[in-house]
Amino acid sequence: MPDMLKDKVAIVTGGARGNGEGIARVFAAEGAAVCLWDVLPAVSQTAERIAAAFGRPVQAWRVDIGDADRVTQAAAEVLGAFGKVDILVNNAAIAPEVPFVEMDQQVRDQVWRVNVGGTMNCTQAVLPAMIERRSGKIIVISSVTGPLTAIPGLTMYASTKGALLGFTRNLALEVAPHGINVNCILPGTIDTPLLRCSLSGGGWASDYDVAAFGRGIPWGRVGSIEEIGGVAAFLASDWSNYVTGSEIVVDGGNRLTEWGLASE
């Protein structure tokens, strides 16, 4: 299905690296003009790399999605540059690893501000234009952590990712009469900076360590950011027009085992 997103305009939050970068790469490969939003300065370099690799328009915006005014401004800039927003991928999130009993209120509130509040800010900023055009695809990146599984130290992150499921379902119902689809992806163990940092206890895990960790997954390896991008591209395309309010788990079957598979 080449060019399944031809002539589409997509905003991808958290686009500087990780799943956001993987989604942006697949979107560009499938013909979309991609707008990367991220608080990290590296978002500009990521946009340049993807544009060079696929020959598509890829632009970068420095955006703190927890800042509603900045989000509104950035959305207006995208609409001014491209005239429309066909796709919004709410991917940006933070995940400080702190036992909940030790987490201070400032950190707790910041996780909620970005992961849930940021998703709501971005969605509210683009919805009026989508409603006016009676067309749009909104994709929410949740996680298996929270909705399906648990990891010590990530109670706050898990709480926000669970909340995003309720947001997805209810919003899907509200905007279906306007021709807008809202769906959710639940990534499992994906080779992202977050995973490599977590596996190494704050450093950077090697390829060997990541491969060894992946052998405990039924598929025998961790997932790639492009594999998350492929699922997002389906949900962003016309092939998913009759899919809304749904959750797709992308975890190599890891949730299917109670104890995990034996690593060799």
Residues marked as catalytic:
157
Instruction: Go through 151-187 and write b for each residue having 16 or more CB atoms within 10 A of its CB, e for each that does not.
Output: eebbbbbbbbbbbbbebbbebbeebeeeebbbbbbbb
The structure tokens listed for 37 are 């939003």
Residue 187 phi, psi dihedral angles, 5° rounding:
-70, 145
Alpha-carbon span 104 to 117, nearest angstrom: 19
**Can you tell me the distance from the alpha carbon of 264 to that of 51, in angstroms, rounded to the nearest whole number?**
40
How far is the C-alpha of 90 from the C-alpha of 177, rounded, in Å?
21
CA–CA distances in Å: residue 178 to residues 8, 83, 253: 18, 19, 35
Q: At residue 222, what are phi and psi to the nearest 5 degrees?
A: -80, 165
Sign of the torsion formed by the C-alpha atoms of 118, 122, 123 and 128? positive
Q: What is the residue whose two structure tokens read 């450093």?
A: 203
